[in-house]
Amino acid sequence: MKGLEISHVGFHYGERKALDDVSFNVEPGRFCALLGPNGAGKSTLFALLTRLIVADEGVINVAGFDIAHSPRAALARIGVVFQQPTLDLDMTVRRNLRYFAGLHGLSGRSAAIAIDRALAQLGMAERADELVRALNGGHRRRMEIARALVHQPEILLLDEATVGLDAASRQAITDHVHQLAESGLAVLWATHLVDEIAVSDQVVVLHRGRVLSNGPAAELAGDRSLAKAFLAMTAENTEAVA
Ligand SMILES: Nc1ncnc2c1ncn2[C@@H]1O[C@H](COP(=O)(O)OP(=O)(O)OP(=O)(O)O)[C@@H](O)[C@H]1O
């Protein structure tokens, strides 16, 4: 498969099991919300997908490349936006992106074209020559997403990308990222906020390191709101474990 395939992945921090037999796929063109409360294991899964840490068990395939056996090919096809911003505030938007393009082996005219294309995808073209410090939080986040697209990845990972933003900025970013999925990217969007999820999205509910459900948001919600269904599901499983 060309998207993301996660099969039976497990990970421990010492004695503590953070991920237990996690399996799901994200196909190209899909927006998949990885929905879980604090401590569910979302950041741990992102660290595995970006090879900051290595899985104890299971297989992760990125665009057909096993991340354990072909890490360079796999990582070249991933764009990632981490929870903590990593921007140089005293450089312009364009220089930040140029630096990142260089890390992916792009320079000169090909880098300039890639940067312009990525900024346009996030509606940030007119801000290219502004200092990052002068941008508001929403625009900084959009710029980070543009940066993650510079090398034209097939899979885009975003870990709680809207933390700390106001309602309008959150909406703009979720709309942009849904459009990116519609244009063919496989998107994995970690969140604990159900209002960022559209009815047609795929939702993987992660709780205490385990996948509780995987399917369309509308199916998970049933005749309730998605928020109620999610709360009921996590509460039920917390009681079962306690
Ligand atoms: N470096 C670490 N050492 C030990 N335990 C850790 C470490 N990092 C995370 N954990 C534990 O692993 C589990 C999953 O944490 P993780 O940060 O992946 O969850 P999360 O879903 O990203 O939560 P949040 O939304 O709060 O960021 C939690 O029980 C957490 O306490």
Q: Where do the structural domains in the chain lie, given as residue ranges?
A: 85-152
pLDDT at position 85 is 82
The ligand 1 atom at the shortest distance from the C-alpha of residue 160 is 25
pLDDT in tens, 211-239: 999 999 999 888 888 889 999 888 876 65
Q: How confident is the model at residue 242 (pLDDT cuts 50, 70, 90)?
A: very low
Q: Give yes or no for residue 240 having a pLDDT over 70.
A: no
pLDDT at position 239 is 59
pLDDT in tens, 159-189: 999 988 999 999 999 999 999 999 999 999 9
DSSP 209-224: TEEEEEEEHHHHHTTS
Closest CA to 81 of 162, 163, 144: 144
pLDDT in tens, 26-65: 999 999 999 999 899 999 999 999 999 999 999 999 999 9
Average predicted confidence (pLDDT) for the chain? 92
Stretch 143-157: mean pLDDT? 96
Is 138 touching ligand 1 by the criterion CB < 6 Å?
Answer: no
Contact between 36 and 211 under an 8 Å Cβ cutoff? The reply is: no
Q: Select from 9, 13, 50, 162 the residue to mutate for testing ligand 1; criterion: most ligand atoms less than 8 Å from CB.
A: 13
Terminal CA-to-CA distance of the chain, rounded, Å? Answer: 38
